[in-house]
């Protein structure tokens, strides 16, 4: 067990405790299972970003930000253009979250990889670190943002903040501070600068604002670390200070005991990966509906009604009752359950388009779905009841448990990556990028990985 992970002392405050933990983290002290999941995170992020870069929201961002810059500092994933470091982090972060297909974490209540990897990959263009240094910095950023999520508990998310945009800014700043090798005072200033920039509202779910949260978190976190490296100052106890992050974004004091409860653990191991291209909190209902469809060979025409029993917390996240767009459909329990029961492939991002949401068969079944809040259920568990003529079928699923078999998870993620990357890069280059991502800690420099992500003629 590493010295960084073994205990948490907070006499100097929780900001300092988080800083000291992440700053001391070293790759050789990370257990192999956690290392393997970090590699999975890189592979999955790259696949999601390559496909997401083709979405309209990324075209709009490129036209607004990249075209007039004329910078060649950093590449855009899945694109021939280049941009400044901060713009590349923003656009690549938005691309990684454009499909809402990227990984998630229950401790963070958000998406851990998508704010961190774009910031690190942009910074790597300037510094050309080893692959091991990149992964080490990534783990440091994820561990900090997830522990910050545990410190704030559910209050931050319940208040209406999108943790990917807020806590993700801290994660990106920590990862970049680690890669830059900042000293302790600069680390604290970087976290202070991250906290004063952190933003993202859950009211943006179902719109292009949600992917923007991820991009802004990546860019703001990178900016925080670069400014701190140059001597820019900020509040060094930004989390616990009066009118600091905990008070303003979670309505109270942080809970230091949460850090002790996590001592000795590497939370990156608990990352959850998506195999349906929708909000993760719809996945349990999708899984249960798919089980019923397969088990009973359901004929959707026989379905008289569907009951989704879920945690009440889902009502404020993914309960858009009548989605009009594909983006809104990703945040609709009713629509995603209906898709699963109809046999529409929820693992294919192309299924979530406006025409699918407007299809009469989907609307007819969607409108027979009822969402029933059940206090005892955790957010990642759902019970689905399908009412047929003279028959009642039930199934349940829980998608909150990390994969026990990492070899199987690697295989599933490789299949997902190929489906996302192949249309962008073609088969040979997709295979090469997957090989580089899953063997990143053996790379002497990150340059081959960065070059493999581009669609430029010289890549």
Residue by residue, pLDDT tens for the chain (459 residues) are 444 544 566 778 999 999 999 999 999 999 999 999 999 999 999 999 999 999 999 999 999 999 889 999 999 999 999 999 999 999 999 999 999 999 999 999 999 999 999 999 999 999 999 999 999 999 999 999 999 999 998 899 999 999 999 999 999 999 999 999 999 999 999 999 999 999 999 999 999 999 999 999 999 999 999 999 999 999 999 999 999 999 999 998 888 888 889 988 999 999 999 999 999 999 999 999 999 999 988 888 889 999 999 999 998 899 999 999 999 999 999 999 999 999 999 999 999 999 999 999 999 999 999 999 999 999 999 999 999 988 999 999 999 999 999 999 999 999 999 999 999 999 999 999 999 999 999 999 999 999 999 886 444
Length of the chain: 459
Which of 110, 10, 92 has the alpha carbon at shortest distance from 51? 92
Q: What's the domain count of the chain?
A: 2
Rg (C-alpha) for the chain, rounded Å, is 21
Give CA torsion, residues 373, 147, 223, 69, to 10 deg: -40
Are 256 and 139 within one domain?
yes
d(CA 366, CA 357): 10
Decide if 288 contacts 396 (C-beta within 8 A): yes
Are 188 and 305 found together in one domain? no
Whether residue 457 is contained in a domain is answered as: no
Distance of CA 162 to the CA centre of its chain: 11
Cα separation, 444 vs 437, whole angstroms: 13
Find tokens 């609709």 and name the residue.
332
Q: Please, which residues have CB within 8 angstroms of residue 157's CB and are 6 or more apart in sequence?
A: 109, 163, 202
- Whether 458 maps to a domain, the answer reads no
CATH number, domain containing residue 341: 3.30.1330.120
Spatial separation of the C-alpha atoms in residues 265 and 239, rounded to whole Å: 22
Beta strand 303-310 with 82-83 is unpaired
**Alpha-carbon gap, residue 240 to 192, rounded angstroms:** 11
User: Is the residue at 145 inside a domain?
Assistant: yes
DSSP states of 379-428? TTEEEEEEEETTEEEEEEEE--S--S-HHHHHHHHHHHHHHHHHHHH-HH
Instruction: Say yes or no: 130 and 238 in one domain.
Output: yes
CATH no. for residue 130?
Answer: 1.10.4100.10
Looking at the structure, tell me whether residues 308 and 440 fall in a common domain.
Answer: no
Q: Which residues pair with 381 in a beta bridge?
A: 398
What is the domain extent for residue 332? 280-398
The model's pTM: 0.94
Within-domain flag for 136: yes
Whether residue 107 lies inside any domain: the answer is yes
What CA–CA distances, in Å, run from 258 to 159, 270, 445? 20, 16, 37
Handedness of CA 387, 388, 390, 392 (dihedral sign): negative
The answer to whether the CB of 81 falls within 8 A of the CB of 153 is no
Based on the fold, state whether residues 291 and 412 are members of the same structural domain.
Answer: no
190 and 206 part of one domain? yes
Return the DSSP state at 314. Answer: G
Instruction: Tell me which residue has tokens 């029933």.
Output: 372
- Does residue 28 lie in a domain region? yes
Cα–Cα separations (whole angstroms), residue 356 to 304, 324, 363: 21, 9, 9
17 and 143, same domain (yes or no)? yes
Going across the sheet that includes 381-388, the strands are 369-373, 303-310, 381-388, 391-398
414 lies in the same domain as 392: no
């Amino acid at each position: 067990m590493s010295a960084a992970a073994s205990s948490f002392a907070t006499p100097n405050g929780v900001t300092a405790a988080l800083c000291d933990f992440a700053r001391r983290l070293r790759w050789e002290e990370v257990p192999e299972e956690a290392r393997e999941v970090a590699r999975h995170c890189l592979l999955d992020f790259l696949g999601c970003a390559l496909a997401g870069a083709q979405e309209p929201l990324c075209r709009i961002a490129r036209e607004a930000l990249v075209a007039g810059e004329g910078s060649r500092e950093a590449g855009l994933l899945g694109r021939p253009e280049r941009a400044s470091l901060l713009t590349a982090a923003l656009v690549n972060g938005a691309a990684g979250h454009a499909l809402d297909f990227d990984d998630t974490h229950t401790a963070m209540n958000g998406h851990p990889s998508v704010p961190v990897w774009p910031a690190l990959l942009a910074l790597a263009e300037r510094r050309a670190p080893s692959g091991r240094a990149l992964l080490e910095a990534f783990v440091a950023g994820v561990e900090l943002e997830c522990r910050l999520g545990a410190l704030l508990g559910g209050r931050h998310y319940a208040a209406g903040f999108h943790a990917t945009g807020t806590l993700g800014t801290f994660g990106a700043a920590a990862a970049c501070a680690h890669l830059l090798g900042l000293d302790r005072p600069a680390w604290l200033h970087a976290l202070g600068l991250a906290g004063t920039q952190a933003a993202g509202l859950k009211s943006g779910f179902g719109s292009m604002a949600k992917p923007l949260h991820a991009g802004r978190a990546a860019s703001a976190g990178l900016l925080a670390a670069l400014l701190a490296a140059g001597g820019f100052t900020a509040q060094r106890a930004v989390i616990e200070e009066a009118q600091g992050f905990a008070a303003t974004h979670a309505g109270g004091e942080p809970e230091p005991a949460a850090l002790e409860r996590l001592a000795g653990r590497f939370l990156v191991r608990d990352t959850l990966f998506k195999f349906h291209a929708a909000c993760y909190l719809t996945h349990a209902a999708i899984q249960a509906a798919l089980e019923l469809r397969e088990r009973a060979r359901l004929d959707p025409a026989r379905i008289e009604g569907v009951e989704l029993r879920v945690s009440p917390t889902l009502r404020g996240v993914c309960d858009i009752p009548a989605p009009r767009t594909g983006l809104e459909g990703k945040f609709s329990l009713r629509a995603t359950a209906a898709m699963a029961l109809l046999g529409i492939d929820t693992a294919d991002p192309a299924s979530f388009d406006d025409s699918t949401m407007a299809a009469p068969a989907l609307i007819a079944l969607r409108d027979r779905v009822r969402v029933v809040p059940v206090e005892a259920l955790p957010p990642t568990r759902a019970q689905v009841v399908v009412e047929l003529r003279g028959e009642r079928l039930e199934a349940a699923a829980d998608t909150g448990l990390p994969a026990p078999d990492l070899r199987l998870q690697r295989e599933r993620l490789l299949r997902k990556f190929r489906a996302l990357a192949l249309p962008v890069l073609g088969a040979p280059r997709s295979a090469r990028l997957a090989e580089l991502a899953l063997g990143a800690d053996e790379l002497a420099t990150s340059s081959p990985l960065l070059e493999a992500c581009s669609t430029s003629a010289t890549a």
